[in-house]
A and B are shown apart, each in its own frame.
Chain A
Amino acid sequence: MTKTFWLVFLASACMGASALQAAQPTKESLSRDLEEVARVARLMVDGDVCERIMTPRALEKMFANDPRDRWAGSDNFDVNHAPYVQIKKTLMRLARLLPYPVDCNLWMPFKDRPGKIQILVRNKHEMSQFWTWGVLFQEQTAEMAEVLASERPKTVAQKGDWVSVLTPVSNSLGDIVGLVEVVSRLEVNWQKYVK
């Protein structure tokens, strides 16, 4: 039943992909496509499962500030396998709604660290408009804070040929617990971040 639903859903979503109809995608057509994927992501990404990804121990160690061991946060980073895999697969399916390279990344803020956020699930094209490569966590951008507060998606397309759509993720209580970044660019760099 679930798989049937997905097939129907994928077909209808792909039909709406404007980049399919355009010979040369533009940032505008990219934005429209990604906004459609983000609309689906808003519904399909389960915030309760997202909240179960991090292990409590890793969350605690993430902010450890030990001058003798500057890698303590990274070396103790850990996730629970089952929820991670479940969410990653959902994000991968969402990215496949479009026929060109798209990544859907999960971003999670911290309950007790206002203003901080971490990218928690990335995907295979290694694209993100916001992630500082390699950092465990970082400051929320103004766009992220806006989406988390307003509970409305936002398209960010100021930087080069990048387009990201940020959409909120909610749990069963209706709380906004994270963001999905649906991201692509006009020219994919196949060598970048092969490292």
Chain B
Amino acid sequence: MGSPRATELRRLTLTAARNGYVSFYLAVKEPRPGPYSLAVSFNSGATSIQSELFKAWYHQFRPRRTYVPDALIPVLNPAKGQLPDPDNRVPDQSCQTFWVDLWVPPDLPPGLHRGRAVAEARGKKVVLEIQVTVLQATIPDEDALTIDHNSYGTGWMGPLYPKLSRSEGEGFYSSDALFKLIHAYHRLFYEHRGTFHQLGYGHGGKVGPEFAPVLTGEGRKRHIASWDLFDRHYAPLLDGSAFRDTRRGPRPIPFVYLPINPEWPASFLNWGEPGYETEFVTVLGEMEKHFRETGWTATNFEMFFNHKKRYKGFHWDGDETRFAKDDEPMLEYSRLLKKALPPGSPVQFVFRHDASWRLEQQFQSLAGAVNFWVCSRAILGWLPEELKTVKQRGDIVWIYSGAPSISSTASAIIENPLRAWMWNVDGYIHWLAVSPSEDPWFDSGGEETCLVYPGERFGIAGPIPSIRLKVQRNFAQDLALLKILEHTGSGAILRQELARRINGSKLEDWWTPRPAMADLPSEEWTNYEIEGGVEPNLHVFQNWAPQFWEGIRRYILDLAEGDKKQ
């Protein structure tokens, strides 16, 4: 990554903007078994490039019975290892790869910075000279696009961290260890220019105690009795202190799910009766007051309904609504939320809806109620004009999909965020990003629901990153640079030019012609019609080479540097 140009493996030249990472992949090869070491260093000084090493794990990839690197284990620098790696157990392994992150501080003087990588094995030393041209351009702290990583509850954390959960015993799910672990996930995604969501309730309305304040009483007497667990979970995230020791610095999380569902904070037993409204409005009012008084005003608190009637908990679909009659409860919840919040509150509550089948209709039927749309990329693909209208009224719009398999081409991870940027929406969400295969190390199914891995196997009480996450982060840095350029020029022209450089396409090629079925009621659609109709267009940039983005990055860096010099 980062425009590498190696000459007989003796020199690597890179170009980097400041306040960001530039990365490369380094292989230590030694045909004979034995120990080795690897060190990456730069001229030391008050301000200098900082290097971090990550050892790649080779996953046994079940479908193809082969080995694929993805998980990245943070290691000391210098790193010491053994070939073959006794833990990874790759037969006859003679090569170990490392992901190298170079952090370029924001106050580093522009110009040429020199470093070197030194590998040693069997008394032999190999030196790779590293030259980094640091530009004047600085990557902004603000992201151009929210890249979100979704998850559900905390029940998965105990099984992924058996030592940690065992050490806490039955109290694990209310322990400081749990909250530290949750914060570690947030930190890892934040450091990789992403965000993290954890939904705190189930399809039947069961709320995990760590996601909600404790309620007491019924009807008029329903109130919040305790904020203890909620505040231990969320306070460091909502005031930003959980990120104090990161390179990006402390900052409140931009989005968070609330535990609101048809069974919380009002009991569904009273649905449609005055008691339901009283319970809902009272508790939401108390939440607003708590958030306001603690100064948690930088986060979007999401009222979001995830339940689907197919899971038999409630009578309407809160997620991916397909039937028109299911809009009615959502309009009612919008009314209740508005009633609960005092006018002019500085606390930001948003009504989020994840929409697919009825997206086009709901852009109208739920206008003024829903103001945060997480859209099926396939269906939004034929609604460019409708999207403009929704954006003009100030709504937040994201698209959703999943992560590519570890066996996909390295650049596949940027496909969806790139599409989101091309469409000028506000974010992209990986619908599940923390759920590895049952045995991701020796029997991986592809890790399409996992971009970070549990680090406990390697003695780390938190998640570790992946190659895909690193590639995505470096791409997000490029988008952030593009955001500066958007301020000084036309965003549409910039996108048009990028489309041309990517594969000779036009911006309109990134949208899908409206299929005939779109004029039928969505109840008559089938999944294969949706997918069959739009997939060819979704992959307008199919067959791109793994390194295709390097040329685009070079162009962005040149643009950013030119812009800086103007």
- Report which A residues bind B (CB closer than 8 A): 66, 68-69, 71-72, 74-79, 81, 84-85, 88-89, 92-93, 96, 118-126, 134, 136, 189-195
What 0/1 readout, one digit per residue, does chain B (256-284) give for beta carbons within 8 Å of chain A?
00000001000111011000000000000
- Is B269 touching A84 in the complex (CB atoms < 8 A)? no
| Shortest Cβ-Cβ A-B pairs, 8 listed | A194-B153, A191-B155, A195-B152, A84-B315, A77-B310, A68-B528, A124-B205, A194-B208
Q: Which of B155, B267, B272, B311 is most buried by chain A, counting CB atoms within 10 A of its CB? A: B311
- Cα distance A124–B266 in the bound complex, in angstroms: 12
Q: Are A88 and B268 touching (Cβ within 8 A)?
A: yes
Take A75-B322, A193-B204, A194-B208 as given contacts and tell me if A69 and B528 are in contact as well, using a CB distance cutoff of 8 Å: yes
Instruction: Report the separation of the CA atoms of residues A127 and B35 in the bound assembly, to the nearest whole angstrom.
Output: 53
Q: How far is the CA of A121 from the CA of B268 in the complex (A)?
A: 13
**Which chain B residue lies CB-closest to A61?**
B523
Tell me which of A78, A85, A119, A194 has the highest count of chain B C-beta atoms within 10 A of its own C-beta.
A194
B556 to A: closest C-beta gap in Å: 39
Q: Which residue of A lies closest to B522 (CB)?
A: A75
Determine chain A's interface SS by DSSP, over half rule.
Answer: loop
* A193–B206 CB distance below 8 A: yes
**Does B309 count as interface, using CB distance less than 8 angstroms?**
yes
Q: Are B152 and A194 in contact (CB under 8 A)?
A: yes
Contact (A194, B315) CB under 8 Å given A69-B528, A85-B271, A93-B269: no
| Docked-complex contact A78 and B312, CB < 8 angstroms | no
**Chain A residue at minimal CB-CB distance from B316:** A81
Q: Contacts of A122 on B, CB cut-off 8 Å?
A: 203-204, 311-313
Known interface pairs A85-B271, A190-B209, A194-B201. Does A124 touch B263 (Cβ–Cβ under 8 Å)?
Answer: yes
> Residue on B with the closest CB to A107?
B312
Within B308-360, which residues are at the interface with A (CB < 8 Å)? 308-316, 322-323, 325, 357
Minimum Cβ distance to chain A for residue B52 (Å):
34
> Quick one: closest B residue to A101, CB to CB?
B206
Least CB distance, A193 to chain B, in whole angstroms = 5
CB distance from A120 to the nearest CB of B (A): 6
Among residues of A, the one whose C-beta sits closest to the C-beta of B356 is A75
Query: Looking at B271, B272, B322, B323, which has the most chain A CB atoms within 10 Å of its CB?
Result: B323
Contact, CB under 8 Å: A88 / B315: yes
Cα distance A152–B206 in the bound complex, in angstroms: 31
Chain B residues, Cβ within 8 Å of A76: 322, 523
What's the nearest-Cβ distance from chain B to residue A51, in Å? 16
B202 proximal to A (CB < 8 A): yes
Are B309 and A194 in contact, CB atoms less than 8 angstroms apart? no
Chain B residues 367-412 with CB under 8 Å of chain A are none
- Residues on A with C-beta less than 8 A from B314 are 88
* Beta-carbon contact of A194 and B207 below 8 Å: yes
- 6 CB < 8 A contacts A-B: A68-B528, A74-B308, A75-B527, A92-B268, A125-B206, A194-B201
List residues of chain B with CB within 8 A of the CB of A119. Answer: 312
In the bound complex, how far is the Cα of B153 from the Cα of A84, in angstroms? 27
Interface: B361 (CB within 8 A) = no
Is B202 within 8 A of A126, CB to CB? yes
The answer to whether B173 has its CB under 8 Å from any CB of chain A is: yes
Contacts of A136 in B (CB 8 A): 310
Interchain nearest-CB distance for A158 vs B (Å): 24
Q: Which B residues lie within 8 Å of A123 (CB)?
A: 204-205, 313
Q: Which residues of A contact B203 (CB under 8 A)?
A: 122, 126, 193, 195
With A81-B325, A88-B268 in contact, do A190 and B312 touch (Cβ < 8 Å)? Answer: no
What sequence of 0s and 1s flags, for each residue 519-531 of chain B, a beta carbon within 8 Å of any chain A beta carbon? 0000100111000
Q: Which residues of A contact B315 (CB under 8 A)?
A: 79, 81, 84-85, 88
Q: Known contacts A69-B527, A93-B269; is A191 also within 8 Å of B313 by CB?
A: no
B154 at the interface (CB under 8 A from A): yes
Q: Which of B208, B267, B526 contacts A68 (CB 8 A)?
A: B526
In the complex, A193→B315 CA distance in Å?
A: 19
- Give residues 191-208 of B contacting A (CB, 8 Å): 199-208
User: Do the beta carbons of B272 and A85 come within 8 Å of each other?
Assistant: yes
Instruction: Find A121's partner among B269, B312, B325, B527 (CB 8 Å cutoff).
Output: B312
- Alpha-carbon separation in the docked complex, A77 to B308 (Å): 9
Could you say which of B155, B267, B316, B323 contacts A195, with CB atoms under 8 Å apart? B155
A190 near B206 with CB under 8 A, answer yes
- Chain A positions within 8 Å of B310 at CB level: 74-75, 77, 136
Bound form: Cα–Cα A69–B528 in Å: 6
Residue of B nearest to A189 (CB): B155
Interchain CB contact under 8 A, A126 and B154: no
A179 to chain B, nearest CB (A): 14
Q: Which of B280-318 contact A (CB under 8 A)?
A: 308-316
* Nearest-neighbor residue (CB-CB) of A124 within chain B: B205
Taken together as a complex, chains A and B put the C-alpha atoms of A6 and B289 apart, in Å, by 37
Cα-based distance from A79 to B312 in the complex (angstroms): 10
Closest chain B residue, CB of each to CB of A89: B269
Q: What would 11 more interface pairs be, CB under 8 Å, given A96-B269, A194-B206?
A: A72-B526, A72-B527, A74-B308, A78-B309, A78-B322, A85-B271, A118-B312, A119-B312, A193-B204, A194-B202, A195-B152
Interchain CA distance A147-B203 in the complex, whole Å:
28
Beta-carbon contact of B526 and A120 below 8 Å: no
Is B204's CB under 8 angstroms from A190's CB? Answer: no
Residues of B within 8 A of A194 (CB): 152-155, 199-202, 206-208, 211
Most central of B155, B206, B207, B309 by chain A CB within 10 Å: B206
B153 & A191 in contact (Cβ 8 Å cutoff)? yes
Distance of A192 Cα from B314 Cα, bound (Å) = 18
Q: Residue on B with the closest CB to A103?
A: B204
Which single residue of chain B is at the shortest CB-CB distance from A74? B310
Partner of B204, one of A66, A96, A125: A125
Question: What CA separation (Å) do A103 and B309 show in the bound complex?
Answer: 17
Residues of A within 8 A of B173 (CB): 190-191
- How far in angstroms is the closest Cβ of chain B from A189? 8
**Known contacts A85-B315, A122-B204, A191-B173; is A69 also within 8 Å of B209 by CB?**
no
- Interfacial chain B residues near A193, Cβ < 8 Å: 155, 202-204, 206
